[in-house]
Structure 1
Amino acid sequence: MILPTKYLSADRSLIVIGADILRVLNEAPRSVSEVWERVISTRNPQAAPLTYDWFLMAVTLLYAIGTIDIRNGLLAVVSGTPT
C-alpha cells in the first residue's frame, strides 16, 4: 500500500501519491481541497484513477512522517524537508 508491489502499481502507491502532493505544496501552502484538485489535474491520464480516500491516506502518511503540517488551515511542507 505504501510502496508499489506486483499487485499494486506505482501510481496507486501512497509514496508516489505523496510525491505528487509534495510537488503541489512546494509552490505554496494550500487548502486540502486545492491540493486535491491540483493533484487530480496534474496526474497522468494513463494512471489509475485516484480516489479521495487514497489521497487522504497519502496526506496522513506525509503528516505521520513529519513531512507536512497544517498551518492556519493550510497544508504546508515542514521547513527543512528535502523535496
Structure 2
Amino acid sequence: MILPTKHLPPRRAIISVASEVHLLIKRRSTVSSIWNNLQEQHKTSRRVGEVSYDWFILALDFLYLMGKVDYEDGYIRKVKS
C-alpha cells in the first residue's frame, strides 16, 4: 500500500500520491484546495478518478507522519527542514 507491489502500480502507491500532494501544497493550503488541485492535475493528464479521496487523505497522513507537513488553524503548510 505504501510502496508499489505486484498488484499496485507505482503511480497509485501512497508514497507516489504523497509526492504529488507535497508538490501541490503552497504556503498555506486548505485540504479542499489541495484536493481540487490534484483533481485538476489528473484531468489534464487524463488520470481522472485514479486517486480516491481516501488515498488522498492517507497521503496527507503519510506526509504528516514523515514530518513534511503540519496542520494549523485549518491550513496545511510544508515544514521547513
TM-score (normalised: structure 1):
0.85
RMSD: 1.5
Q: Which amino acid aligns with 2:36?
A: E
- Partner residue, 1:49: 50
- Partner residue, 1:62: 63
Matched residues in 1 for 2:27 and 2:16: separation? Answer: 20
Structure 1 gaps, min length 5? none
Structure 1: 4+ residue segments shifted above 2 A: none
Structure 2 gaps, min length 5? none
Secondary structure, aligned partner of 2:55: helix
- Percent identical pairs in the alignment equals 29
Matched residues in 2 for 1:50 and 1:69: separation? Answer: 22
Tell me how far 1:46 sits from its aligned partner.
Answer: 4.1
Q: Which amino acid aligns with 2:14?
A: L
